Amino acid sequence: MKSGLYTLLFLLIFSASYSQKLLIPKGANRIEITTALSDTALFDMIEFRLETLGFFMDQSDQSKGFMITEFKNMGDEIAIKVVVSIQNNTVTFRGYGEAEVSGNKYTNVPLANKGSGSGVERSGFNQLNDLVKKLSKSIGASTIMYLAH
């Protein structure tokens, strides 16, 4: 009986995590992580984790609660710049992408869950989403939300 209960619990958790992937609304251009950590702790943790993942800080101001990275090559012929703001236990991530596709150079393209899967907007947003998921694991108990405009 216990093994059946564990199997059911596993399937519920698996299906919930799988369905969460489908909940990213079209046009989403921001990702938020909400947690119980203080803004100062979040700032230090996010900045440290971004740097350990190979991002260099272009601008960073803890008193104003923001940081902007330089562009980092993420593979797939795209580089992203991450813009982070922290306020009231919430970290908001936005991004910009640059890539060269078929001889055309695209720079400072706002990342969003729209366009084709191979386009700079969506491909870059997917990279940003993967990054935010990694960061949220190091934060601990947190909630991720996707926002448009």
CATH of the domain at 125: 3.30.530.50
Name which of 72, 71, 77, 132 is nearest 101 in CA terms.
77
Q: Tell me what pLDDT residue 103 has.
A: 83
More confident residue, 16 or 71: 71
**4 falls within a domain:** no
What pLDDT was estimated at residue 3?
55
Which string of b and e fits 25-64 if b means at least 16 CB within 10 Å? eeebbbbbbbbebeeeebbebbbebbeeeebeeeeeeeee
Residue 17 confidence (pLDDT) = 43
Domain count across the chain: 1
* Host domain of residue 91: 27-148
- Burial string for 101-117 (b: 16+ CB within 10 Å, else e) reads eeeeeeeebebbbeeee
Closest CA to 74 of 60, 57, 95: 95
Q: Is residue 111 part of a domain?
A: yes
Position 11 in a domain: no
Task: Tell me the whole-structure pTM to 2 decimals.
Answer: 0.82
Spatial separation of the C-alpha atoms in residues 11 and 82, rounded to whole Å? 34
pLDDT, position 149: 76
Domain assignment present for residue 132? The answer is yes
Asked if pLDDT for residue 15 goes beyond 60, the answer is: no
Q: What is the tens place of the pLDDT at every residue in 68-121?
A: 999 999 887 899 999 999 999 999 999 999 998 788 898 999 999 997 666 889
Predicted confidence (pLDDT) at residue 43 exceeds the cutoff of 90: yes
